[in-house]
């Protein structure tokens, strides 16, 4: 089943118009015709069923005839993850985290970061595609890239706030502190890990040091490991 993303529709919308790119995909690639039913989401929790009334390759139109609210995730997960040197690894993380279940993502630039600039538009497209592919009705929030220093200076409402690092110090395991219906913030550093100053600063403001296991993980693997752990524990 194909799911289409239209962020501007809501519970009261009746007719929807697709842009040229989506219209061509509907009419030329999928070969849909007038009268066919398609499924839409606004990325804010709703699925919509609509019937195509015009399949012009430049401007498809559909009429909504039913809607359904999808239950949100039973937890809130905000991952703040340093962009990786190889961009395709970060894009893989974005895709898989969206498929598993995440609510918010912030790229953080750290002392040891080798990549300091991101293409937010491209990242958003990857997240949207993963949302549609996994048939989800909630689009994760992708924030602007920010320095870790600025990120730590902001207020964060999550009840559980953690930093995963590789320093040989006392740490709790992530799985030991996750609980049902929880809201979590997990910080994941770059390939060279967080600096000692960054770890000290995070801990000084109440962010708990955690371990994701005994193996040394790449940035994107650590992020997915954290995402899956939260999903597995908080969803069951």
CATH at residue 23? 2.40.240.20
Is the CB of residue 134 less than 8 Å from the CB of residue 172? no
Neighbours of 130 (CB within 10 A): 20
- Residues 61, 125: one domain? no
- Residues 57, 113: one domain? no
Q: In this predicted model, what pLDDT tens digit does every residue of 106-149 receive, in sequence order?
A: 999 999 999 999 999 999 999 999 999 999 999 999 999 999 99
- Residues 110, 93: one domain? yes
Q: In this predicted model, what pLDDT tens digit does every residue of 148-172 receive, in sequence order?
A: 999 999 999 999 999 999 888 889 9
Return the residue matching tokens 């595609």: 129
Return the residue matching tokens 């993963």: 130
CA distance 200 to 106: 20
Is the CB of residue 97 less than 8 Å from the CB of residue 139? no
- Residues 84, 107: one domain? yes
pLDDT greater than 90 at residue 214: no
CB-based contacts of 115, cutoff 8 Å, min separation 6 = 82, 83, 84, 85, 87, 90, 190
- Residues 179, 63: one domain? no
Domain termination residue (choose one: 15, 50, 69): 69
- Residues 168, 130: one domain? yes
Neighbours of 195 (CB within 10 A): 17
Domain count, the chain: 2
- Residues 114, 221: one domain? yes
CB-based contacts of 77, cutoff 8 Å, min separation 6 = 101, 102, 103, 104, 183, 184, 186, 227, 230, 231
**Residues paired with 141 in a beta bridge:** 104
Question: Which domain, by its residues, includes 165?
Answer: 76-234
- Residues 88, 133: one domain? yes
- Residues 148, 215: one domain? yes
Is the CB of residue 10 less than 8 Å from the CB of residue 42? yes
For residue 183, what pLDDT is reported?
95
């Amino acid at each position: 089943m194909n799911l289409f993303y239209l962020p501007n529709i809501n519970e009261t919308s009746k007719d929807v118009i697709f842009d040229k790119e989506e219209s061509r995909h509907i009419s030329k690639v999928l070969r849909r015709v007038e009268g066919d039913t398609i499924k839409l989401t606004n990325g804010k929790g709703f699925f919509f069923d609509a019937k195509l009334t015009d399949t012009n390759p430049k401007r498809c139109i559909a009429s909504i005839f039913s809607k359904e609210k999808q239950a949100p995730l039973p937890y809130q997960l905000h991952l703040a993850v340093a962009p990786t040197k190889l961009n395709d690894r970060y894009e893989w993380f974005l895709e898989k985290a969206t498929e598993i279940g995440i609510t918010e993502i912030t790229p953080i630039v750290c002392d040891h970061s080798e990549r300091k600039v991101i293409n937010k538009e491209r990242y958003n497209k990857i997240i949207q595609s993963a949302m549609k592919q996994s048939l989800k009705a909630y689009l994760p929030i992708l924030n602007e890239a920010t320095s870790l220093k600025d990120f730590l200076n902001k207020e964060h409402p999550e009840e559980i706030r953690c930093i995963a690092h590789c320093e040989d110090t006392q740490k709790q395991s992530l799985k030991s502190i996750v609980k049902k219906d929880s809201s979590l913030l997990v910080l994941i550093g770059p390939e060279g890990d967080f600096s000692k100053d960054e770890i000290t600063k995070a801990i000084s403001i109440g962010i708990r040091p955690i371990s994701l296991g005994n193996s040394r993980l790449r940035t994107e693997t650590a992020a997915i490991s954290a995402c899956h752990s939260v999903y597995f524990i908080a969803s069951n």
